Amino acid sequence: MRLAVGLGNPGAEYARHRHNVGFMAADAIAARHRLGPWRRKFRGEIAEGDLAGIRLLLLKPLTYMNESGRAVAEVARFYKIAPADVVVLHDELDLAPGKVRVKLGGGVAGHNGLRSIAAWLGTPDFWRVRIGIGHPGDKERVLGHVLGDFHKAELPWVEAMLAAIADAFDLLIGGDDGRFMNKVALATAAKPARERSAPA
């Protein structure tokens, strides 16, 4: 069994924020692979099903971003899921818009959701799917950028990226992170770079 966690903040007012792209990815994965229905449990919403011959739990914590680890730890403890079998999908300032990278462990780079999960699991050694939202170029604009909605001009690459993540997610759950990244990169490469950015 593996646990995949999409990070975001609950509530309609946050739904289109760049910071909520993890929630968006979780919704896309659930729809693509017919997981579900979503149920309220473990301080979050859970959908489950089989993917790549593996039982997958998909979690959207409803604790707000900085307490995401509470929900993740409750699910992991209940189902006896090791940190190395946890995959967290989250927004990444230090990646260009539309870029997706996967890594195991590492620092949290100021991301409150990752910090909370590492604290509650007692280790940073879980998988991360880093979803690029780009940097606004000025640290004074970071908060507004992260907690702002995707612009209308950004939606085509956002939707293409989410679809690519969902389509290839079985590869990642099956243990082939390299093929997952390659498939996502190929699926999103058709978008010209100039279409990947918009003023924040």
Q: Which residues have a catalytic role annotated?
A: 19
CB atoms within 10 A of CB 186: 11
Question: Under a CB-based contact definition with an 8 Å cutoff, are residues 157 and 191 in contact?
Answer: yes
Q: What is the C-alpha to C-alpha distance for residues 31 and 61, in angstroms, rounded to an integer? A: 18
Give the Cβ contact number of residue 44 at 10 Å.
23
Residue 118: which residues within 8 A CB-CB, separation 6 or more?
69, 108, 124, 126
Assigned token pair, 12: 């309609």
Q: Which amino acid is at 167?
A: D
Using alpha carbons, select from 40, 81, 78, 80 the residue that is nearest to residue 61.
Answer: 40
**Residue type present at position 156:** P
| Residue 194 buriedness (CB in 10 A; 0-12 / 13-18 / 19+) | exposed
Q: Which helix (H) or strand (E) holds 119?
A: helix 112-121
Sheet holding 39-41, edge to edge: 39-41, 44-51, 54-61, 2-6, 86-92, 127-132, 100-104
